[in-house]
Amino acid sequence: MFDEIEFDKIKRLPKYVFASINEIKLKMRQNGEDVIDFSMGNPDGPTPNHIIDKLCQAAKKEKNHGYSVSKGIYKLRLSIVNWYKRKYGVNLDPNTEVCVTMGSKEGYVHLVQAITNPGDNAIVCSPAYPIHYYAFILNGANVINIPIKWDDEMLLDYQSYFNDLQKALKSAFPKPKFVVVNFPHNPTTAVVNKDFYEKLVSIAKKERFYIISDIAYAELCFGDFKTPSIFEVDGAKDVAVETYTLSKTYNMAGWRVGFVVGNKKMVEALQKIKSWIDYGMHTPTQIAATIALDGPQDCIVDIRNKYENRMQVLIDSFKGTGFDIKKPKASMFIWAGIPEQYKHLGSLEFCKEILQEAKVAFSPGVGFGENGEGYVRIALIENEKRIRQAARNIKQYLKNKK
């Protein structure tokens, strides 16, 4: 019906590459098969009790049942300001430099919607968390990909990144207005230190572009590595915003709490568009989020340890499978090179085969962009016992293939 009426914008979104893996997974589960599922970055533990208790208390108060404030209640914006002060020594204005969002994904998409004109150019790493590209594509902008590389310690190869960035800035027309970075990086787990941001901010000021930095995995870092914030660089607020989420740090993925902070012009654009689109997040959830940020932080140590232990178990138990695995410094993922003899299949076919034959679900690297080909992303959301079981299943599958 109405074939002449086209929805052009939605056509700019391709079929989700992960959808075919999800479909197979669903069918297998419906047939009663046990799938060991490493495919989605969906934290598996419970939200800490003190946060749940606060939600329950706040939910019982009638005054919290009405519409909320679209940019977030003042108390939560203040908790965010205090979190930045404590963690990074950074000062933010709770009114003009902070916006609460319904998860950082919602914040990112609406920010991009608010600040992008059709035909703009944005520079995004490749591979990337898919919405980092597609928010721009949906808004009629174009994306220039910078393929990223890293060393054995999973530190980003700065030289290659900045060479490609400078090339893109010189050659692209119109001149790129936005650069998106995301470290610790999903999917590769690559990290950067503060010196990366120093250089990026100085280039942004010279070449005149805005930076959006997503630090969703900031707290999931191991050993001596501490995730830096771009705002530790003096003057970064002139050119940058940072997005963050409670999803990963406090096992609160379903609660949908995130925030965007920093550059006043960008934050105010986001606050404005949100004031038209939504009435703010459920107030009791926002109140509970203040407790997550202000309350005891030992739960983060437990969550961090859980992922780090799983990482080690996976690395040890996958020895001999042919996967190329380097230990991450941060995140909840492992970015594993596909065994040489199966690379020709491509990551999507390889994942389908592993799923059907070994009953183990990974995310195909190509789903994160063409530079993700040759890899799979393993989200560490299964316990240690099941990680070992997955390794056994894969070894058996590889043996049968010979």
Ligand X SMILES: Cc1ncc(COP(=O)(O)O)c(C=O)c1O
Note the residues at the interface with ligand X (CB under 6 A).
41, 103-105, 129, 182, 186, 214, 216, 245, 247, 253, 258
Q: Which is nearer to ligand X, 38 or 394 (CB)?
A: 38
Q: Strand pairing of 142-147 and 360-361?
A: unpaired
CB of 65 to ligand X, least distance (A): 24
Neighbours of 195 (CB within 10 A): 11
Give residue 4's identity as a one-letter amino acid code: E
CB of 227 to ligand X, least distance (A): 12
Angle at the Cα of 302 from the Cα atoms of 92 and 259, rounded to 5 degrees: 25
Q: Which is nearer to ligand X, 98 or 358 (CB)?
A: 98
Distance CA(129)–CA(125), nearest Å, equals 9
Q: Which is nearer to ligand X, 290 or 317 (CB)?
A: 290
CB of 62 to ligand X, least distance (A): 29
Q: Which is nearer to ligand X, 68 or 249 (CB)?
A: 249
Q: What are phi and psi of 253, to 5 degrees?
A: -55, -40
CB of 258 to ligand X, least distance (A): 4
By the 8 A CB rule, do 241 and 214 touch?
A: no
Distance CA(378)–CA(382), nearest Å, equals 10
Q: Which is nearer to ligand X, 70 or 249 (CB)?
A: 249
Q: H/E element holding 377?
A: strand 375-379
Q: Which is nearer to ligand X, 116 or 186 (CB)?
A: 186
CB of 191 to ligand X, least distance (A): 13
306-339: string of b/e by CB count within 10 Å (b at 16+)? bbbebbebbbebbeeebbebbbbbbbbbbbbebe
170 three-class SS: helix
Distance CA(26)–CA(35), nearest Å, equals 9
CB of 208 to ligand X, least distance (A): 26
CB of 13 to ligand X, least distance (A): 17
Residue identified by tokens 């890293």 is 150
By the 8 A CB rule, do 342 and 349 touch?
A: no
Q: Which two tokens stand for residue 1?
A: 């019906």
Q: Which is nearer to ligand X, 121 or 249 (CB)?
A: 249
CB of 374 to ligand X, least distance (A): 20
Q: Which is nearer to ligand X, 104 or 317 (CB)?
A: 104
Q: Which two tokens stand for residue 164?
A: 């490609």
